């Protein structure tokens, strides 16, 4: 008896995917949440998935699917992240027993590199998804001099894959420029929960409880509180704007929280929020300032857009793909503190402009649907399997079985 797979491909058993992650549910960042959404979607579509990742005693959230812990250590200098030092023999035995049809690596770390080798040795189709621009991080920790080394490593990493899932067209073009064949690149976009992130969740009571006055303009920063998210530029822009009615609101947590608090002693620090609490907090702000230029997609921008906020963002490739400058938000050259401050002053003084940008942003967010985006990954898996010699043979055998 055959089992139908997504897209019409048939097999005598379910399609099996081994997913490798650097920190699958250790931290509640955008990349990990996207991967968990993907696994839950694959399971609903009838695939089998096994996730291999470092684990922690107190994870940020319950993982989707079956999670196999891989031995790891705290990342040097950033103990909130874990680093797997390889692919232990026990993990290899578990992989052999699972017998994956596809190996999917989501981080270019040691574990991802060893998983690549495992797939290559066994002629298993190899997929990578790109979630963040790691090469941009090092300048924030006085290590910018090694960027060239990291870029060359990343180029080799992605060129070794049979398929690379890019979050948008700008990143796809960057991969092409780095030598990845365009025929081996597919787009895995993202979606947004427009029920959780909705202007209707705006709450005067939420603002009042945190001392935000009715006449104050709440400028939001939300996400992981780490240097690479642009916390220094956010603080500098707020300080430079010198607007007495501008109140910075920080939603999120992370190792740089203390540094952020020292830079902005008047800010409201709401901490890490999830679910409806997060949606309420975002909708209760008046604008978002996102100075990060390290994003591969920009989930924060899209979620703020869905919540109807006027967005000011660094003019990075990812944000340029999401935001139509002057219509659904404002783009400012990365690192231009004076430009950020001017945008803050412009929006703080013009409630009608904030409303116009927020309404257009909310409408634009409707084109980002999670199910549609995740189905693209299923389609990419299917196409890759058919394109391999083993996949072609399976498809022919299945066609004969169905015909019989």
SS3 annotation, 369-397? CHHHHHHHHHHHHHHHHHHCHHHHHHHHH
The pairing of strands 310-314 and 330-332 is: parallel
Pair 210, 280: CB distance under 8 Å: no
Q: pLDDT tens digits for 46-69?
A: 999 999 999 988 888 899 999 999
- pTM here is 0.87
- Helix segments in 242-350, DSSP class H: 257-263, 275-283, 299-306, 317-322, 337-348
CA distance 191 to 367: 8
Pair 241, 217: CB distance under 8 Å: no
Q: Of the given ranges (43-52, 127-136, 219-228, 283-292), which has the lowest mean pLDDT?
A: 127-136
- Total tally of structural domains belonging to the chain: 2
With cut-offs at 50, 70 and 90, classify the pLDDT of residue 5: very low
Q: pLDDT tens digits for 238-274?
A: 999 999 999 999 999 999 999 999 999 999 999 999 9
Same domain, 343 and 215: yes
**pLDDT given for residue 172 in this prediction:** 95
Q: Determine the structural domain holding residue 184 and report its residue range.
A: 3-191+369-403
Same domain, 185 and 262: no
| Nearest of 121, 124, 84, 88 to residue 104 by alpha carbon | 124
Q: Is 313 helix (H, G, I), strand (E, B) or coil?
A: strand
Query: Is 372 buried (19+), middle (13-18) or exposed (0-12) by CB count in 10 A?
Result: exposed
Same domain, 142 and 264: no
Residues 6+ apart with CB under 8 A from 285: 218, 219, 220, 249, 304, 309
**pLDDT given for residue 135 in this prediction:** 53
- Other Cβ atoms less than 10 A from the Cβ of 356: the count is 14
Same domain, 252 and 382: no
Beta strands in 179-329 (DSSP E): 185-187, 217-222, 246-251, 268-271, 287-290, 310-314
Same domain, 208 and 312: yes
Work out the percent of the chain whose per-residue pLDDT is above 90. 75
Q: pLDDT tens digits for 130-166?
A: 988 665 655 655 666 777 887 888 889 999 999 999 9
Q: pLDDT tens digits for 336-371?
A: 999 999 999 999 999 999 999 999 999 999 999 999
**pLDDT given for residue 250 in this prediction:** 98
Q: Is 179 helix (H, G, I), strand (E, B) or coil?
A: coil
**Residue 350 in tokens:** 């013009």
The CATH number linked to 218 is: 3.40.50.2000
**pLDDT given for residue 389 in this prediction:** 59
Same domain, 310 and 294: yes
Same domain, 72 and 206: no
Same domain, 11 and 119: yes
**pLDDT given for residue 2 in this prediction:** 34
| Nearest of 74, 75, 116, 73 to residue 95 by alpha carbon | 116
How is 40-94 classified by DSSP, letter by letter? HHHHHTT-EEEEEE---SS-SSPPSSEEEE--EEEETTEEEEEEE-S--HHHHHH
Same domain, 334 and 389: no
Same domain, 112 and 151: yes
Same domain, 184 and 226: no
CA distance 312 to 325: 9
Same domain, 273 and 300: yes
Whether the pLDDT of residue 399 is over 60: the answer is: no
């Amino acid at each position: 008896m055959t089992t139908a797979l997504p897209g019409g491909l048939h097999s005598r058993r379910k399609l099996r995917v081994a997913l490798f992650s650097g920190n699958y549910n250790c931290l509640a960042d955008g990349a990990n949440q996207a991967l968990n959404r993907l696994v839950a979607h694959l399971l609903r579509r009838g695939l089998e998935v096994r996730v291999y990742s470092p684990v922690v005693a107190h994870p940020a959230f319950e993982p989707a699917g079956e999670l196999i812990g891989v031995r790891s250590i705290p990342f040097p200098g950033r103990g909130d992240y874990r680093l797997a030092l390889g692919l232990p023999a026990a993990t290899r035995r578990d992989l052999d027993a699972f017998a994956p049809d596809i190996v999917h690596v989501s981080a270019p770390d040691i574990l991802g590199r060893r998983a690549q080798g495992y797939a290559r040795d066994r002629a298993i189709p190899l997929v990578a998804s790109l979630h963040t621009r790691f090469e941009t991080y090092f300048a924030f920790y006085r290590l910018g001099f090694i960027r060239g080394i990291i870029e060359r490593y990343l180029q080799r990493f992605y060129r070794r894959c049979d398929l690379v899932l890019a979050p948008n067209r700008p990143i796809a073009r960057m991969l092409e420029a780095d030598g990845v064949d365009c025929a081996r690149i597919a787009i895995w976009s993202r979606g947004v929960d427009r029920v959780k992130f909705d202007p209707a969740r705006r709450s005067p009571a939420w603002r009042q409880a945190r001392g935000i006055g009715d006449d104050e303009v709440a400028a939001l920063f939300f996400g992981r509180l780490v240097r690479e998210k642009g916390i220094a530029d956010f603080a500098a822009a707020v300080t430079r704007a010198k607007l007495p009615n501008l109140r910075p609101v920080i939603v999120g947590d992370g190792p740089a929280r203390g540094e952020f608090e020292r830079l902005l002693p008047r800010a409201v620090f709401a901490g890490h929020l999830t679910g409806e609490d997060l949606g309420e907090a975002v909708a209760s702000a008046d604008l978002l300032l996102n100075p990060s230029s390290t994003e591969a997609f920009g989930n924060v921008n899209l979620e703020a857009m869905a919540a109807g906020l006027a967005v000011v963002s660094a003019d990075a490739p990812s944000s340029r793909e999401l935001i139509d400058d002057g219509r659904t938000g404002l783009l400012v050259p990365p690192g231009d503190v004076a430009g950020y401050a001017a945008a803050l002053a412009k929006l703080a003084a013009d409630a009608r402009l904030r409303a116009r940008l927020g309404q257009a942003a909310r409408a634009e967010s409707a084109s980002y649907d999670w199910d549609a985006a995740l189905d693209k990954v299923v389609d990419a898996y299917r196409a890759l399997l058919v394109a391999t010699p083993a996949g072609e043979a399976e498809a022919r055998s299945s066609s004969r079985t169905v015909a019989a």
